[in-house]
């Protein structure tokens, strides 16, 4: 289910100890491709710009786009199992940052 950023509530965002599948499900509540014009190339360019910025300077919407990008990378790399999974760790950190932003609105 797609959730526009301006309609996002704390109830939509997983808590800190949520299962990985909940973080992944949340990452898919925004289609990052559509948000930046629909093409994979445009998406890659946009995400590359986000990656150069400190997370605490990104808008809530851009945090969600970055989370979506990490989820797509996680999917295409096979999900990290059974090894440790730095992409999942990063998705969890981004989700917690999104949650924190919503708490402080």
Q: What residues make up the domain containing 62?
A: 5-103
Q: What is the pLDDT of residue 81?
A: 59
In this structure, are residues 88 and 82 in contact, taking their beta carbons and an 8 Å threshold? Answer: no
Taking only the tens place, the pLDDT of each residue in 66-103 is 999 999 999 988 776 556 688 999 999 999 999 999 99
> What is the spatial distance between Cα 67 and Cα 19, in angstroms, rounded to a whole number?
16
As for how many domains the chain has, the answer is 1
Sign of the Cα torsion 105, 55, 90, 43 reads positive
């Amino acid at each position: 289910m797609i959730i526009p950023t301006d309609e996002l509530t704390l109830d939509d965002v997983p808590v800190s100890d949520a299962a990985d599948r909940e973080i992944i499900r949340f990452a898919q509540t925004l289609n990052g491709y559509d948000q930046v014009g629909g093409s994979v190339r445009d998406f890659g360019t946009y995400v590359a710009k986000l990656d150069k910025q400190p997370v605490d300077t990104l808008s809530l919407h851009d945090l969600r786009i970055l989370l979506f990008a990490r989820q797509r990378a996680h999917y295409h790399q096979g999900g990290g199992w059974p090894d440790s999974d730095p992409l999942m760790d990063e998705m969890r950190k981004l989700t917690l940052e999104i949650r924190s932003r919503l708490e402080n609105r």
